[in-house]
Amino acid sequence: MFLFLILLFLIILSFWNFIWKRRNLPPGPTPLPIFGNAFAMDRLIYEQFQIWAKEFGPVYTIWMGEVPIVMVTDYELIRDLFVKEGDIYAGRHFLVDLFQEFRGLFVIIFRYFWKEI
């Protein structure tokens, strides 16, 4: 019984933590705890990103595991964010370009290297 209560407490705590992380992020597809949106990507990833952009708008959040990723799909907004407000984002973590074979998929690049794109 005690083991069951500890397990139940840990499950509730993990769900609460997961919900708490989502509170200030843009809307997006509902993620699963631990897995994020991995199981929602049942087609080619760039097609799924396009579907979500139509459904949630030009800025939405996806989850890779328990890590949130804010996707920006509007060219003008991307330019404003990284050119006009670029100093805000300098020095943040970057995503490795795992999708090099997909043309047109923009991936955040560390510091000022994105200007070479």
The C-alpha atoms of residue 43 and residue 18 are separated, in whole angstroms, by: 26
What is the DSSP code (8-state) at residue 74?
-
The C-alpha atoms of residue 85 and residue 109 are separated, in whole angstroms, by: 15
Q: What is the pTM of this model?
A: 0.65
What's the pLDDT tens digit per position in 36-79?
888 887 778 888 888 999 999 999 999 888 788 888 888 888 88
Length of the chain (residues): 117
What is the DSSP code (8-state) at residue 24?
T
* Statement: residue 98 has pLDDT above 50: no
pLDDT of 28 reads: 92
Task: Look up residue 59 and give its amino acid.
Answer: V
